[in-house]
């Protein structure tokens, strides 16, 4: 690094450090006048520790001027992290979470910050339409566009029912012109006009009183049939429309759920499962050296580990909120979702693993390692040299195999160095070394 670069680093360190001091001064001003007990928090990014840390580095810089650039860089790094914790108490982990959340925003072809801008623009347009609707301005329909025509038509009946409940006058004003226009062109009015014409006929030999009465009954029957057919049509149309709509909606929902499940199972879950498995192996490897679990026991522990991660995730409200957003998207970006979930796994994995190990194996891990298991008759492989024709065991051989007559007494003495020895009838010498 050249001198110019070193000067830039040192200048940056001083600027950031001054910023940290300003933050601390502001904190002190807020607390000024309040009677508080002296804080015992000695965290690395508290005001008190930060001040002590910088003072210590400055003292070291005075004692070791040749290390000045490194000490100033350390002050620079600390000042930056101090400022970071003022914005995000979780530090870099919190920044990663928020970045993953922001990066997960998708709107059309836009992603991340660009998607946020697109969403904000759309919200501005939605607010404009809302204002037009509140004001009752027909321009709201133009703002919605032609894509909404079919949906609005399907909502007409439900909306009219709503209007009829909260404003009967406006309901009548909206329907009356259409009702009169439709009625004027109906068979009911035509038959009624024909009946009136016949009844008003005078000096016409074709329409005597019996004929008029007969025609009247005929016309009234036609009008009655028209009204009945209209009523029947109303009863048939509404249920049929709702049934078709409900069936179509159910089919669409089922297909969408199947498509979403397939998308998550093939595009998103494999990467998350791989990260879960890798995290488990990394955390469990130090324990496995002592536990030496077989494949079945290790698999059972892994499943319990994943269940613990799921439980921790379900208890994290922020995690659930963000996952609900991802689930609501049609095709969320697999890398973005995996990055967010993997960050959550990293955050919860160590506590989950430690809790499992403590619950299952703490008594074993707290005790001393047991000696290696011996073979038949306690036979072991001695660490030191052994005489020819001598076999080392941890237990005394069966008495019916020992040739006591030819076994020296001092061999069987408990104080004999190296342990007791016995000669067998087959000529072999057994040396017993307790574990």
- How many CA atoms does the CB half-sphere of 28 hold within 13 Å? 10
Comparing C-alpha atoms, which of 140, 123, 122 is closest to residue 131?
Answer: 140
pLDDT of residue 79 exceeding 80, the answer is: yes
Cβ–Cβ under 8 Å, residues 419 and 406: no
Residues 6+ apart with CB under 8 A from 421: 390, 407, 411, 412, 429, 430, 431, 432
Lowest mean pLDDT among 188-192, 351-355, 387-391: 387-391
Q: Which conformational region is residue 131 in: left (phi greater than 0), alpha (psi within -120 to 50 degrees), or beta?
A: alpha
Tokens of 111: 């992603």
Spatial separation of the C-alpha atoms in residues 424 and 404, rounded to whole Å: 8
pLDDT at residue 196, rounded to an integer:
86
pLDDT at residue 275, rounded to an integer:
93
pLDDT at residue 371, rounded to an integer:
52
Say if residue 425 is exposed, middle or buried (CB neighbours under 10 Å; 0-12, 13-18, 19+).
exposed
pTM: 0.42
Residues 6+ apart with CB under 8 A from 249: none
Q: Which conformational region is residue 376 in: left (phi greater than 0), alpha (psi within -120 to 50 degrees), or beta?
A: beta
Phi (first) and psi of residue 391, to 5 degrees: -115, 135
- For the chain, which residues make up each domain, given as ranges? 3-87, 267-366, 376-432
Lowest mean pLDDT among 24-28, 142-146, 158-162, 375-379: 24-28
Tokens of 360: 């299952």
Q: What is the pLDDT of residues 245-266, one digit of tens each?
A: 566 677 777 888 888 888 888 8
Q: Kindly report the length of the chain.
A: 435
Cβ–Cβ under 8 Å, residues 312 and 348: yes
Spatial separation of the C-alpha atoms in residues 342 and 348, rounded to whole Å: 10
pLDDT at residue 34, rounded to an integer:
35
Query: How close are the terminal C-alpha atoms of the chain, in Å?
Result: 62
**Angstrom distances, CA of residue 98 to CA of 49, 351, 380:** 27, 22, 60
Q: What is the pLDDT of residues 129-147, one digit of tens each?
A: 888 888 888 888 887 778 8
pLDDT at residue 276, rounded to an integer:
93
pLDDT of residue 47 exceeding 50, the answer is: yes
Q: Mean pLDDT across the chain, nearest whole number?
A: 78
pLDDT at residue 179, rounded to an integer:
81
Average pLDDT score over residue span 98-109: 76
Question: Which residues of 104-196 form beta strands (DSSP E)?
Answer: 106-107, 110-111
For 294-312, give one letter per residue: b (16+ CB within 10 A) or e. eeeebeebbebbbebbeeb
pLDDT of residue 160 exceeding 50, the answer is: yes
Of the two residues 59 and 42, the one the predictor is more confident about is 59
Cβ–Cβ under 8 Å, residues 379 and 391: yes
pLDDT of residue 184 exceeding 70, the answer is: yes
**Angstrom distances, CA of residue 87 to CA of 49, 60, 81, 90:** 18, 29, 10, 9
Comparing C-alpha atoms, which of 73, 25, 74, 67 is closest to residue 53?
Answer: 74
pLDDT at residue 386, rounded to an integer:
52
Lowest mean pLDDT among 28-42, 79-93, 267-281, 403-417: 28-42
pLDDT of residue 98 exceeding 90, the answer is: no
pLDDT of residue 354 exceeding 80, the answer is: yes
Average pLDDT score over residue span 350-369: 84
pLDDT at residue 334, rounded to an integer:
87
pLDDT at residue 277, rounded to an integer:
94
Comparing C-alpha atoms, which of 419, 417, 415 is closest to residue 432?
Answer: 419
CA–chain centroid gap for 77, Å, is 32
pLDDT at residue 387, rounded to an integer:
60
pLDDT of residue 103 exceeding 60, the answer is: yes
Q: What is the pLDDT of residues 366-410, one digit of tens each?
A: 766 555 444 455 555 555 555 667 888 888 888 888 888 888 877
Cβ–Cβ under 8 Å, residues 199 and 212: yes
pLDDT at residue 345, rounded to an integer:
93
C-alpha angle with apex 167: 164 to 171, nearest 5 degrees?
50
Lowest mean pLDDT among 34-48, 106-120, 156-170: 34-48
C-alpha angle with apex 260: 349 to 262, nearest 5 degrees?
80
When pLDDT is cut at 50, 70 and 90, the band that residue 353 belongs to is: very high
When pLDDT is cut at 50, 70 and 90, the band that residue 78 belongs to is: confident
Four-residue CA torsion sign, 203, 205, 208, 211: negative
Q: Given 3-state DSSP classes, what are the helix, strand and coil percentages for the chain, each rounded to the nearest 5?
A: 75, 5, 20
What counts of helices (H) and strands (E) characterise the chain? 14, 5
C-alpha angle with apex 273: 271 to 274, nearest 5 degrees?
65
């Amino acid at each position: 690094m050249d001198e110019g670069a070193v000067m830039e680093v040192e200048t940056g360190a001083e600027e950031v450090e001054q910023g940290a001091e300003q933050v601390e001064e502001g904190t002190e001003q807020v607390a000024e006048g309040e009677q508080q007990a002296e804080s015992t928090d000695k965290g690395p990014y508290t005001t008190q520790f930060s001040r002590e840390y910088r003072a210590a580095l400055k003292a070291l810089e005075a004692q070791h001027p040749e290390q000045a650039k490194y000490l100033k860089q350390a002050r620079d790094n600390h000042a930056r992290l101090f400022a970071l914790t003022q914005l995000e108490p979780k530090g870099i982990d919190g920044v990663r979470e928020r970045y993953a959340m922001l990066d997960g925003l998708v709107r059309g072809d836009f992603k991340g910050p660009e998607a946020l801008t697109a969403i904000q623009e759309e919200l501005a347009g939605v607010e404009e339409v809302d204002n037009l609707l509140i004001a009752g301005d027909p321009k709201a329909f133009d703002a919605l566009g032609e894509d909404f025509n079919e949906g609005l038509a399907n909502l007409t009946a439900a909306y009219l029912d709503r209007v009829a409940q909260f404003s009967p006058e406006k309901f009548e004003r909206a329907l009356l012109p259409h009702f009169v226009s439709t009625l004027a062109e109906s068979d009911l009015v035509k038959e009624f006009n024909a009946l009136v014409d016949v009844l008003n006929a005078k000096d016409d030999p074709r329409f005597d009183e019996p004929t008029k009465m007969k025609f009247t009954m005929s016309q009234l029957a036609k009008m009655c049939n028209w009204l009945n057919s209209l009523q029947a049509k109303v009863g048939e149309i509404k249920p049929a429309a709702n049934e078709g709509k409900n069936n179509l909606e159910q089919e669409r929902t089922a297909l969408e759920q199947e498509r979403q499940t397939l998308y998550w199972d093939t595009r998103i879950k494999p990467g998350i499962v791989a990260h879960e498995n890798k995290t488990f192996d990394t955390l469990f490897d130090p324990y496995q050296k002592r536990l030496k679990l077989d494949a079945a026991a290790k698999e059972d522990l892994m499943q319990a580990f994943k269940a613990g991660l799921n439980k921790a995730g379900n208890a994290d409200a922020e995690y659930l909120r963000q996952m609900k957003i991802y689930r609501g998207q049609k095709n969320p970006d697999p890398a973005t979702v995996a990055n967010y979930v993997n960050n959550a796994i990293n955050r919860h994995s160590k506590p989950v693993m430690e809790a499992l190990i403590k619950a299952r194996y703490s008594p074993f891990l707290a005790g001393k390692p047991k000696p290696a298991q011996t073979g038949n008759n306690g036979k072991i492989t001695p660490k030191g040299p052994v005489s020819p024709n001598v076999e080392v065991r941890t237990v005394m051989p069966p008495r019916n195999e020992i040739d006591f007559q030819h076994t020296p007494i001092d061999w069987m003495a408990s104080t004999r160095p190296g342990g007791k020895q016995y000669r067998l009838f087959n000529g072999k010498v057994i040396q017993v070394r307790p574990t």
